[in-house]
Amino acid sequence: MSRLLQKLPTALRLSQLSQRRVALAASNVSSRFYSTEIKDKFVGRQRLPIYTGQPIHETRPYLLNPGELTPGISAMEYFQRRLRVAAELQPNSCLIIPGNDVQFASGAVFYPFQQDTDMYYLTGWNEPNSVMVIERHSEKKDDITFTMFVQEKNDFAEQWEGYRTGVEGAQEIFNADESFSVNQLKSKLGDIIRHNKTIYFNDSAKVNLTNNRKSIIQVISNAGIINSKNYNRILADIRKIKSEAELKVMRRAGQISGKSYNQAFTKKFRNERSLASFLDYKFISGGCDKPAYIPVVATGSNALCIHYTRNDDVMFDDEMVLVDASGAIGGYCSDISRTWPISGKFSDAQRDLYQAVLNVQKQCIALCKASNLLSLEDIHQKSLEFMKQELKNLGIADVKNWDVERLYPHYIGHNLGLDVHDVPHASRYEPLQEGQVITIEPGLYIPDCEEFPEYFRNVGIRIEDDIAIGKDSFTNLTVEAVKEISDLERLMASGKTLDEFDDDVISPLGN
């Protein structure tokens, strides 16, 4: 209230206020005044009338470069992927891949959406309740039709659930030759199937039975198609070899995740949960879209459980912590494991066990060249031999193969890509090829048993990096995450990241 009004007699003051309110109401003018001045920070910022269900360059230019449908991957590359898959199909056939639906935890509480990775690999489409079809019409490998069934745009649904790209957007943005409402799936898909002799479809019982999948199975059954094949191996053989663009995205995810670990090494944490949260925050603030998987943060004997994800224990200085966590960009995962002493200094026993695992990992990584003609299975068998020798060096006498597999019970690694355990249908027994990305992650898990030295018991150690296979070399995509004992102890003692492993935020665009 102004000082002038405060000096007026009470009755007059009320009268003046009332008059002011009446005047404002009559004029229909707001009592607040807002600046219409354009600030410098808004100059050049465009708001295009384009509303899609996922980022595109026109709506999120800070996430996607021109021509990209997903971070780092262009529309042309998605087109070329479809051509490569179509070339593996028989003439007069079609491949049908239903996307995933939103999954609910309880009631109206839903999980973050995760698209079927085969569909995502071929389209870049990252919206639920959709189906894609590729038809190969003749002997010509490029005589194909790409059809999508997607959710229609709907003002009411979009107000509550977010924008949809819609039927037109599936053609205009994602380059479908034809697109229809997913509500037309049964009728339109029936027409497509009747014009083809062979159907490629994943009818595995392990796959989530969505409504669209049920509809597809019903349509195939009604059409009386006899020649039906599973497409898993076709997609696995293509997906396991990464393009240059894919390798760049995976390198970026590995770099961000590795630098996040280095920052974690410099901090003291009271419990597993706070360390897990710190890493998740660093992955995303550093430039990743999301964590690649539920993290393992296991202190002390918790590390004996390989996929321990409770992350609810406190930390003690005489223990080590095993962390398996990483970030993802545009669906492409990184996968890192590191183990370090909570006190900041390795004890003699911890040092010897850790160095044994690190020696095995470095020996296995050195084998990751296509020219060596080794399969993932070959490298795993080598890792068992290396680990057996390291255990003997530690004084664990009479080491038998069974003992090694008991203390090191998991596989040396797996393919990595859009899935953390990528393309599981790809053979472990075929020689590794240039462009493959695998993890190398040996581990040692010493139980609380009298047959093992007391100072080694209740310790779990795993060291994991992501390795891109070259013809005569390899590239460690997660090299930033330090793992040498001297580097780890120097980081933990200094409380800051090393100069050669800076912690700058990395641009999502890879600039």
Which domains occur in the chain, in start order?
Answer: 1-34 (no CATH), 72-238 (3.40.350.10), 240-501 (3.90.230.10)
**Residue 393's CB: how many other CB atoms inside 10 A?**
12
Strands 144-150 and 437-440: unpaired
Closest CA to 204 of 57, 110, 348, 98: 98
Secondary structure E strands in 394-442: 437-440
Report, in angstroms and rounded to the nearest whole number, the Rg of the chain calculated over CA atoms: 29
pTM given for the model = 0.89
181's CB contacts (< 8 A; 6+ apart) are: 149, 150, 151, 152, 167
Closest CA to 126 of 66, 60, 190: 60
Closest CA to 143 of 82, 199, 185: 82
pLDDT tens-digit profile, the chain (511 residues): 444 344 444 443 334 444 444 444 455 555 677 776 666 555 566 667 889 999 999 999 999 999 999 999 999 999 999 999 999 999 999 999 999 999 999 999 999 999 999 999 999 999 999 999 999 999 998 899 999 999 999 999 999 999 999 999 999 999 999 999 999 999 999 999 999 999 999 987 566 778 899 999 889 888 887 788 999 999 999 999 999 999 999 999 999 999 999 999 999 999 999 999 999 999 999 999 999 999 999 999 999 999 999 999 999 999 999 999 999 999 999 999 999 999 999 999 999 999 999 999 999 999 999 999 999 999 999 999 999 999 999 988 677 767 888 999 999 999 999 999 999 999 999 999 999 999 999 999 999 998 888 999 999 999 999 999 999 999 999 999 999 999 999 999 988 775 544 555 455 566 5
